[in-house]
Amino acid sequence: MTEHTLTVAGVAVDTRHWIGGRRVASAETFTDVSPIDGSVIGEISRGTALEAAAAVAAAKAAFPAWAATSRAERARILHAVADGVEKRIEELSIVETTDNGALLRSHRRGVMPRVAHNFRFFADWLLKLEHEDFETRGHTNHVSWDPAGPSVLITPWNAPLMLATWKVAPALAAGNTVVLKPAEWSPLTASLLADIAAEAGLPAGVLNVVQGYGSEVGDALTSHPDVRRISFTGSVPTARRIAESAAGNLTPLSLELGGKSPLLVFADADLDLAVDLAVEQYDNAGQVCLAATRFLVEESVAEEFTRRFVEKAATLTQGDPRHETTDIGPNIHPRQLEKIDAFVQRALAAGARAVIGGHRKDTQYYAPTLLTDVAQDSEIVQEEVFGPVLTLQTFSTEEEAVRLANDTRFGLAATLATADAERAERVTAQLVAGTVWVNCFFVRDLQAPFGGSRHSGVGREGGTWSFDFYCDVKNTVTAPNGWKNHG
């Protein structure tokens, strides 16, 4: 072990940046704290404009060779990265649980296998990426996807490695080089990913990892003139700052932002299913951008729905996310916990009623909360809390349900519970959302478009949409019979 290596639950993690195929330390560090118990994990290299410039320069230098690498070879290396992830699922799982507090059992069974799948999916999609040639007055049109160049990927803390690789995998598959800036509250698995990628044979400079604060290193990355694409997942205020930073260079952006998604429960719905869907919104301590945090329930079944919800929620176990029986872990940081509680206390002061919860459990955990008697124009209904806090309102008609569902500035997702197929078709057609789930939740396929409407984002990624973003899409038109015969 060296001064730049942490041991996290028995796993060695390098605390330095990964730039141009080597580890680079910064003069300053920032403190990484575990949300499980508030203990200090260690000191992490704190990037500045200096490290940002070095990372972009490394990505720029590596770009021509990586862009010229055949699709088959790029795909082979991405599959090798997936192999490396699968060999280290246990290590990645325990490090990420320590770092961001999400359930260890979820990391082992779902999240880390999905990380490997991200690489495999985009490697395979690359090999079949094509558009059928078409004719225009005898001329042949041929569509191709040209790598765009160095890409800056800025990722959140709620699902650090999965959401990072959701961006890294298609960017690399497209032939771009990458500078990854993980969230400062959960940087550790990004460092491990750099090791895995290097071991898989990814050339130096193709993937770079720079840690630190957005105001110190993020701005330097997003304003850099050599950056050709920026993809960001996070909050609306940060997205505005990134957009302003990128505007000077007209750098294309993909933004997946906040949500205030509704769960619409109609009287004809299977109430047991609806309650299961509702309780699922406490997943990851409510720190899920897609969560349906606003319950809209038809008046005639609202009382029964609420009774069953309270009973079901009472069976959840909140505590140490490393324990197999835990259902809800801690919130990421004391600052986030304070923000969550401030939202709830302001709502209670304004007349809301806490059916369950409504308070902190301690300095790391917030009690699962359901608030009723909330006005549509209230802060708690309109603004993203990003914690285990849900609201319940009622409606009497389908038209009212749609109106309430659409009456926020967001449009990331929506969930609908009904037994009427025609109603489902009518309602989903009117909902403003990038994803709508009918009688299910969180069913995600990488070939589907993903993104938000309104303040929930700009653009779509997934399948071919990812390559459309990370590439310069070119159309080549060739005249008929224009070739000389060189015999």
pLDDT of residue 319: 95
Q: Find the catalytic residue in 91, 96, 256, 384.
A: 256
Residue-range domain boundaries for the chain:
5-257+452-475, 262-438
Q: Work out whether strand 389-395 and strand 294-298 pair parallel, antiparallel, or are unpaired.
A: parallel
Domain 5-257+452-475 matches domain 262-438 at the CATH topology level:
no
Q: Which residues contact 3 (CB under 8 A, 6 or more apart)?
A: none
What is the Cα–Cα distance from 95 to 193, expressed in whole angstroms?
12
Return the closest-CA partner of residue 412 out of 430, 390, 434: 434
In the set 51, 216, 289, 384, the catalytic residue is: 289
User: Rounded distance, CA 64 to CA 368, Å?
Assistant: 51
Residues 161 and 92: their CA atoms lie apart, in Å, by: 9
pLDDT of 3: 84
d(CA 127, CA 54) in angstroms, rounded, equals: 32
The predicted model scores a pTM of 0.95
The three-point CA angle 142-144-145 to 5° equals: 165
Q: Which CATH class is domain 5-257+452-475?
A: alpha beta
What is the residue whose two structure tokens read 């299977």? 270
Distance of alpha carbon 113 from alpha carbon 40, whole angstroms: 28
167 Rama sector, left if φ>0, alpha if ψ -120 to 50, beta otherwise: alpha
Instruction: Report d(CA 308, CA 276) in Å as an integer.
Output: 9
d(CA 125, CA 155): 23
Which of 183, 188, 152, 184 lies closest to 168 in space, CA to CA? 152
Which tokens is 31 given? 């403190």
Pairwise CA distance, residues 111 & 89, whole Å: 9
What region does 393 belong to: left with phi over 0, alpha with psi -120 to 50, or beta? Answer: beta
Is 73 tagged catalytic? no
**In sequence order, what DSSP letters do the residues of 235-293 get, joined into one string?**
-HHHHHHHHHHHHTTT--EEEE-----EEEE-TTS-HHHHHHHHHGGGGGGG--TT---
| Alpha-carbon gap, residue 382 to 373, rounded angstroms | 14
Question: Quick one: three-class SS letters along 123-180?
Answer: HHHHHHCCCCCEEECCEEEEEEEEECCCEEEECCCCCHHHHHHHHHHHHHHCCCCEEE
Taking the C-alpha atoms of residue 299 and residue 310, their distance in angstroms, rounded to an integer, is 17
Q: What is the DSSP letter of 26?
A: -
Tokens of 310: 């309270």
Nearest alpha-carbon partner for 125 in 174, 165, 70, 80: 174
**CATH architecture of the region 262-438:** 3-Layer(aba) Sandwich (3.40)
Q: Can 43 be counted among the known catalytic residues? A: no
pLDDT in tens, the chain (487 residues): 568 999 999 999 999 999 999 999 999 999 999 999 999 999 999 999 999 999 999 999 999 999 999 999 999 999 999 999 999 999 999 999 999 999 999 999 999 999 999 999 999 999 999 999 999 999 999 999 999 999 999 999 999 999 999 999 999 999 999 999 999 999 999 999 999 999 999 999 999 999 999 999 999 999 999 999 999 999 999 999 999 999 999 999 999 999 999 999 999 999 999 999 999 999 999 999 999 999 999 999 999 999 999 999 999 999 999 999 999 999 999 999 999 999 999 999 999 999 999 999 988 899 999 999 999 999 999 999 999 999 999 999 999 999 999 999 999 999 999 999 999 999 999 999 999 999 999 999 999 999 999 999 999 999 999 999 999 999 999 999 877 765 4
**What backbone phi and psi angles, to 5 degrees, belong to 140?**
-100, 125
Neighbours of 423 (CB within 10 A): 18
Tell me the residue type at 239: A
